[in-house]
């Protein structure tokens, strides 16, 4: 794994991307603090798993389900109802009409 500043990555972006398969992940820093991660991917990379593994909301829901706190499917909000998902993630209940 490499660590590069944002300035270095911006100035050499093509080279950094081309080198990813050889160098492996690159941590991009801004003002000395980690800000992003560049990962090499190929046609076999499972992007959905990669994205879900970094989703705080997914892991909160996963932990609730593992503890037996389940919400019936018919009580789940629409996919784009952010406020409702926040309530579910915090253990709140959706009000029935």
Nearest to 35 by CA among 9, 15, 53: 9
Tell me the pLDDT tens digit for each residue of 44-74: 999 998 888 888 888 888 888 888 877 777 7
- Find the angle CA(18)-CA(24)-CA(30) to the nearest 5 degrees: 85
pLDDT for 95 beyond 70: no
Can you tell me the distance from the alpha carbon of 94 to that of 86, in angstroms, rounded to the nearest whole number? Answer: 11
Better-scored residue on pLDDT, 97 or 29:
29
DSSP letter for each residue of 7-56: HHHHHTHHHHHHHHHHH--EEEEETTEEEEEE----TT--HHHHHHTT-H
pLDDT given at position 91: 56
Tell me the pLDDT tens digit for each residue of 7-35: 999 999 999 999 999 999 999 999 999 99
Domain positions in the chain: 2-38, 47-89
Predicted TM-score (pTM) above 0.75: no
- CATH domain 2-38 topology: YefM-like fold (3.40.1620)
pLDDT for 84 beyond 80: no
- E strand or H helix at 85, and its extent? helix 82-89
């Amino acid at each position: 794994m490499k660590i590069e500043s944002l300035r270095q990555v911006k100035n050499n972006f093509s080279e950094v991307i081309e080198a990813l398969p050889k160098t492996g992940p690159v941590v991009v820093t801004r003002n000395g603090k980690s800000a992003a991660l560049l990962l090499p991917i190929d046609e076999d990379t499972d992007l959905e798993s990669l994205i879900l593994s970094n989703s705080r909301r997914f892991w909160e829901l996963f932990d609730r389900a593992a503890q037996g706190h389940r919400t019936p499917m018919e009580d789940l909000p629409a996919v784009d109802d952010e406020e409702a998902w926040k309530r579910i993630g915090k253990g709140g209940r959706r009000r029935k009409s």
